[in-house]
Amino acid sequence: LKCAMKYKKDKDISKRIRQEIKVLNELHHKGIIRLRGSFEDDDTIYLVLQYISGRDLSKFFKQNPPNKGTIINVIYQIVEALI
């Protein structure tokens, strides 16, 4: 596990991040990274996310421009994870 995200606190961002924490705690799907924990200090909110090995999708696509079939497959996987 590693701290993958941190956010400087301000009123709007803190509210949005806390809502995302609630949602992530309820999601359990192989296509959605798991939230392992969260914590705060005086000025930062930290999210501890499941470690996923492999390449970042945006970096992969920069090195391997996708064709239409690949794009459709990725979109399908995203939609499947969300419903």
Per-residue model confidence as pLDDT tens digits over 13-67: 788 888 989 988 888 888 788 898 888 887 778 888 888 888 887 888 888 898 9
What whole-number distance in Å separates Cα of residue 72 and Cα of residue 36?
30
Q: How far is CA 34 from CA 30, 56, 67, 70, in A?
A: 9, 16, 29, 25
* The pLDDT of residue 72: 93
Q: Which residues contact 81 (CB under 8 A, 6 or more apart)?
A: 29, 30, 31, 32
The pLDDT score that the predictor gives to residue 3 is 53
Which pTM was predicted? 0.62
**Strand ranges, E, within 15-63:** 35-40, 44-49
Q: Bigger pLDDT: 83 or 8? A: 83
pLDDT, position 1: 45
